[in-house]
Structure 1
Amino acid sequence: MQKTNINVDFGNILKKTRETRKMTQEEFAEFCNVSRAYYGRLERGENSITLDLCNKISQALGISIAALFEDLP
């Protein structure tokens, strides 16, 4: 069984969401009210996301927090 990294998996979800909206990392970070550098680290799976930031992102996108996690393996 292959071990997965949940931070990388979640970062891929964020990247897919951003690309679907045709936004740059900078635009999406500003949209979610976080720094571009921090958002980039989240997208690459280098940092763990907080529930507070999940809430900010879901509110900015107009979706539930649970929807952010639907595609996690």
Structure 2
Amino acid sequence: MSEPLTTSFGHIVRHRREALGLSQEELGAKTNLSRNYIGMVERGETNPTLLVLHGLARALSTTMVSLIGELEAGTDIPDPKR
């Protein structure tokens, strides 16, 4: 079962990929990841490592900060100070 955070991140990746007109296969080729793995990321079925996040950001012509910032802005992440 997908976690809300990984599902939200997957939606961001899919949205960014589609905005660039890339297929999952094309994004996979740019990141040296399989189309199947890209699909798993987009469905929130896997929690990408920092290396995968870095590759996705580069392939999507953005930064890791931008991807994580969008994720954080769109989710209700508990504040650890509370």
Could you state the TM-score of these two structures normalised by the residue count of structure 2? 0.76
- Please list every run of 5 or more consecutive structure 2 residues that lacks an aligned counterpart in the other structure: 76-82
User: What does residue 71 of structure 1 align with?
Assistant: 70
Residue identity (%):
33
User: What does residue 11 of structure 2 align with?
Assistant: 12
Give deviations 1:14-69, integer Å, cap 9, x for gaps.
00000000111111111222111111101100010100111112223342211111
Of 37-46 and 23-32, deviating more is: 23-32
Count of aligned pairs: 70
Paired residue type of 1:58: A
User: What does residue 36 of structure 1 align with?
Assistant: 35
Deviation at 1:11, TM superposition (A): 0.1
Q: How far apart in 2 are the matches of 1:41 and 1:60? A: 17
- Please list every run of 5 or more consecutive structure 1 residues that lacks an aligned counterpart in the other structure: none
Point out the structure with max Rg over C-alpha.
Answer: 2
Report the aligned-residue RMSD: 1.4
User: What does residue 26 of structure 2 align with?
Assistant: 27
Q: How far apart in 1 are the matches of 2:52 and 2:26? A: 16
